Every structure is written in C-alpha cells, then in structure tokens.
Structure 1
C-alpha cells in the first residue's frame, strides 16, 4: 500500500512483484478514509483475485 505514484509505475512496468495498492486520497480525515476504504474493499479483493498488478484506490 502506497501513496507514492512511483511505486505504482515501477510495478506496472514489471512482470513480477507484489501487488501494489495505490492510495489516492486528498486531505481527508481518517474516519472518511476508513469509510471509503471499507466501501471499496470488495472491489479491491476482486482485483487481487484477478491478479491485477496495481490497484488504484481513490478516496473522496
């Protein structure tokens, strides 16, 4: 899990490596971030199951 775009770009360019969850959330409070993350969890789990290399999570 990272907020750094560079890790996402590096992983996307490689054929192997860990799954990267790229967190793109602006300046929001922790409660809103957790709420958004829990809401997105089914889609994140599905992307992991499909073998996605980079999963982008965009908070509100």
Structure 2
C-alpha cells in the first residue's frame, strides 16, 4: 500500500500556515516555489524547513 505524506510549514512567505509539500522519500519533498519558478525538490531535513515545520499528515 502506498501512502502520501503532506507536510505543513509556517511563516514562509506570509504569517501563519503558508506552505505545503509532499514527502517523496529519502528526506526529500516536492513543493511549489514562489514567483512562478515551478515545482522543485528540497531536503526535508534542511535547517530552513526544520525551523518552519508544523506537522505532517498521511493519507
């Protein structure tokens, strides 16, 4: 069975909950970047994302 993990982050481009990503494994997530730069991968364990992490939900 395959599960999708969504993560929520705060204060990324505005106050409060402001960003979501999808965890794709191996400490990587995909997320939409600002200013029309498209979808990119990022390391889930980076200092930036660790400090802004709220929670994650599996569906």
TM-score class, shorter: under 0.3
Task: Work out which structure has the larger RCO, using CA pairs closer than 8 Å and 6 or more positions apart in sequence.
Answer: 1
TM-score (norm 2): 0.24
Q: Which structure would you say has the larger Rg? A: 1
TM-score (norm 1): 0.24
